[in-house]
Structures are given as structure tokens and as C-alpha cells.
């Protein structure tokens, strides 16, 4: 299967799941049942930012499925493949939206926090702009080795990055005795892949809040995230189609994906780095993140590790 075919397969699977989830919810609660994430003025932020439409009910959510469908055009074309990636993001938001519609707190039995409220995003604004938070790492999947995973997260931590966790990596990181929580800049989102939307939602709301972007200006949004939100994705373990298609969504937002398995590489966007000792360096370089060494209270060994890091030629 070509890379694009994998993406389309994943996008269609996510769409199918979203359709089913919405249909089941409507059967149970009716079309007028309320849909909302807690603590946000941006409705379902991804859908709102991309289309300008605020979703309030399950019925309207059903309408949003049309947006997803229209984004999946199965042609061997990079632009279309990236759109299909965005479609998966929207599907994920729809599924998560339903979870919140059906339950007061769908994450109460998980380590993950689920939806990130506006207040937290606002508190992140200043350190992001000043470079105090030099980057955002999104870690997805399940690592073959929890110790090296722990080391990676600690490394990001020590460099001041904000790390979001999705999937079994959450439990692995906890087992590796990494302190998690907003104050430690390590935020577990949820165990299911759809929880990844809650970090996308952070990036998207950053564009709306700090970039004063108009809802519905999709290309402006993608430009903002690419230029201004220094995020990247690390995936661990084998990738299924849905994860790959999520990855396409990340790439559409300008976030490079670094996998620890074999993937069809795209320079600067989709890389394979099997050596966990090199994950951090590879990722920072891929997102062009430079660490302001002096401002961080970290051991000297970290600083020296980064000296002479920029070895590429200027042409």
C-alpha cells in the first residue's frame, strides 16, 4: 500500500467510527442533546477554527460528519492526503465530543486529563512566546522499552518542553517514575488515540487566542500552527492506519512526526528514528527547536550535549 492509501484507510476508519459513535448517541439521547467540552469558549475548537461553525447538539455533530467526508478525497496527491489527515482530527474531535456529551467526566477513571480547558492554554501563552517553553512534544503509542521512554520524557522536561502523552505511554511513563502534571510540564491526555485531539485543540486554540485568527480561516490556521506552534510528534511502537492518518493531520499542521519504526520517510516531516537515545535530538532538529541553555536550571552535561549540534551546511 502506498503511504497515501494507508492514510485514506485510516481516515475512513476514523470516519466510520465517528459515524457509528454519533448514531449510537443520537439513538440514546436524541438529536437535541447538548454537546460541549468543559471550560472553553470555542465550542468544538478544531471544527470551530476550521469551519467557523459552533456545534451545540448531537444533531449538529451529525452535520459535522459531512465536513469529514468532504475532506477525504482519495487521490494520490499530497494536498489531499494532508486534508484526509485533518479529517481524522475532526473525526477524533467528534468522537471525543460525544464522550463528553454522554458523560459528565469521561476521563474520571483514567490517568489522562482529556480535554484541556482554555484557562490552561492561556497560562501557557506567555512561556511559549518567551521561549520558556521551547517546544511541545506529543508522545503517542506504546514503547518497547519504558526506561528509555522515561529518559526521553525527562530529557524534554529538563529542556523545558511541554510533553503530552497519549496511549499506553502514559502508564509506562508513570511506571518509569516520571512526575506528571501541568507543573511538571508532562500532561497525560488519554489512553485512546482519539485523545490526541486534545493537544491539537490546544494548538488550534493558541491560534485563535494568541494569533487572533478568524474561525473558518483554515489556511491561516495551518500557517499559524506551522510557524508559531513548535510542536512535534513522537510515535512508539507499530503504527496502524489510524495513527498514520493522525500523523498526516499533524504534518498538515506543520508538526513533524518521528516514529521509532520503519516508515516511508519524508524529509523534515516524517522520520524514522529507531534509536531511542537519539529521539530527542532528532525531534528537536526536525522542528528546528533550539534550547536556550542558560535560562534552564539543568546540569551542564545537557548543555554540552547540544554544542556543535547545528552541523548542517548553509546553502
Partner 1 sequence: MSHEVLGFDVTADALLEKAKRDGAETMWDRKAAMKASCGFGEKGICCKNCSMGPCRISPVEGKGAQKGICGATADTIVARNFARTVAAGVSSHSDHARDIIHVLHMASEDGNYKVKNPEKLMKLAKEWEVDTEGKEIYQIAHEVAEVALMEFGKPFGTQRFIKRAPEPRQKIWKDLNIEPRAIDREVATILHSTHIGCTSEVDSLMDMSMRTSLSNGWGGSMMGTEFTDIVFGTPTARSTEANLGVIEENMVNILLHGHDPSFSEMVVLAAEDPELMKLAKDNGAEGINLVGMCCTGNEVTMRHGVKIAGNFYQQEMAIVTGAMEAVLVDVQCIYPALPKLAECYHTKFIATSPKAKMEGATYIEFNEEHALDITKKIVREAILNYKNRDRTKVMIPQQKSKAMLGYSVETIIDHLDKVVNSQTDVFETVKPLSDVIWAGVIRGAAGIVGCNNPKVQHDNSHITIMKELIKNDIIVVTTGCAAQAAAKAGLLTMEAKELAGRGLREVCERVGIPPILHMGSCVDISRILDLVSRVSKERGLDNSNLPVVGVAPEWMSEKAVGIGTYVVSSGIDTFLGITPQVTGSARFVDILTNQLEDKVGAKFFFEEDPTVCAQKIMERIEEKRDRLGI
Q: What is the binding site for partner 1 (CB under 8 A)?
A: 1-4, 76-82, 264-273, 278, 281-282, 285-286, 311-313, 315
Beta carbon of residue 45, minimum distance to partner 1 (angstroms, whole number)? 24
32/77 with CB nearer partner 1: 77
Q: Which is nearer to partner 1, 78 or 298 (CB)?
A: 78
Count other C-beta atoms under 10 Å from residue 227's C-beta. Answer: 10
Short-list 115, 90, 95, CA closest to 105: 115
Yes or no: say if 192 and 107 are a contact pair by the CB < 8 Å rule. no
Instruction: Quote the DSSP letter at residue 196.
Output: G
**Minimal distance in Å, beta carbon 302 to partner 1?**
16
* Least distance to partner 1, CB of residue 69, Å: 20
Coil vs helix vs strand at 50 = helix
- Given a contact cutoff of 8 angstroms between Cβ atoms, the answer to whether 191 and 110 are in contact is yes
> Considering beta carbons, is residue 82 or 250 the nearer one to partner 1?
82
Residue number, 5 or 132, with CB nearest to partner 1: 5
Q: Which residue's CB is nearer to partner 1, number 80 or number 290?
A: 80
3-state class of 177 per DSSP?
A: coil
Which among 234, 108, 226, 107 is positioned nearest to 165, based on CA atoms?
A: 234
Minimum CB separation of residue 208 from partner 1 in Å reads 24
- Residue 176: C-alpha distances to residues 106, 159, 164 (Å): 26, 18, 16
CB atoms < 10 A from the CB of 214, how many?
Answer: 11
Cell for 167?
496511549
Least Å distance between CB 94 and partner 1? Answer: 25
CA 197 to chain centre: 6
Considering beta carbons, is residue 81 or 165 the nearer one to partner 1? 81
Q: How far is the CB of 87 from partner 1 (least distance, A)?
A: 15
Q: Residue for cell digits 512534544? A: 137
Amino acid at each position: 500500500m502506498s503511504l497515501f492509501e494507508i492514510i485514506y484507510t485510516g481516515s475512513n476508519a476514523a470516519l466510520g467510527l465517528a459515524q457509528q459513535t454519533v448514531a449510537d448517541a443520537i439513538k440514546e439521547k436524541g438529536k437535541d442533546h447538548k454537546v460541549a467540552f468543559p471550560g472553553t469558549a470555542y465550542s468544538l475548537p478544531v471544527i470551530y477554527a476550521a469551519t467557523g461553525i459552533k456545534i451545540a447538539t448531537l444533531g449538529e455533530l451529525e452535520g459535522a460528519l459531512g465536513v469529514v467526508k468532504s475532506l477525504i478525497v482519495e487521490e494520490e496527491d499530497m494536498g489531499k492526503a494532508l486534508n484526509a489527515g485533518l479529517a481524522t482530527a475532526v473525526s477524533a474531535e467528534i468522537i471525543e465530543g460525544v464522550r463528553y456529551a454522554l458523560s459528565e467526566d469521561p476521563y474520571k477513571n483514567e490517568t489522562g486529563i482529556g480535554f484541556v480547558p482554555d484557562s490552561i492554554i492561556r497560562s501557557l501563552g506567555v512561556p511559549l512566546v518567551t521561549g520558556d517553553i521551547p517546544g511541545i512534544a506529543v508522545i503517542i503509542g506504546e514503547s518497547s522499552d519504558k526506561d528509555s521512554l522515561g529518559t526521553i520524557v525527562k530529557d524534554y522536561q529538563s529542556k523545558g518542553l511541554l510533553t503530552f502523552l497519549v496511549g499506553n505511554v502514559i502508564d509506562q511513563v508513570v511506571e518509569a517514575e516520571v512526575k506528571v502534571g501541568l507543573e511538571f510540564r508532562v500532561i497525560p491526555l488519554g489512553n485512546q488515540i482519539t485523545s490526541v485531539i486534545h493537544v491539537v485543540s490546544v494548538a488550534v486554540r493558541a491560534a485563535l487566542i494568541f494569533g487572533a485568527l478568524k474561525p473558518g480561516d483554515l489556511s491561516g490556521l495551518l500557517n499559524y500552527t506551522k510557524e508559531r506552534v513548535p510542536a512535534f510528534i513522537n510515535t512508539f511502537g507499530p503504527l496502524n492506519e489510524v495513527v498514520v492518518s493522525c500523523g498526516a493531520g499533524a504534518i498538515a499542521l506543520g508538526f513533524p512526526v518521528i516514529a521509532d519504526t520503519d516508515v516511508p520517510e519524508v524529509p523534515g516531516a516524517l522520520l524514522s528514528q529507531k534509536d531511542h537515545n537519539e529521539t530527542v535530538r532528532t525531534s528537536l532538529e526536525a522542528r528546528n527547536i533550539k534550547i536556550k541553555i542558560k535560562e534552564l536550571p539543568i546540569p551542564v552535561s545537557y548543555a554540552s550535549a547540544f554544542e556543535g549540534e547545528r552541523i548542517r551546511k548553509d546553502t
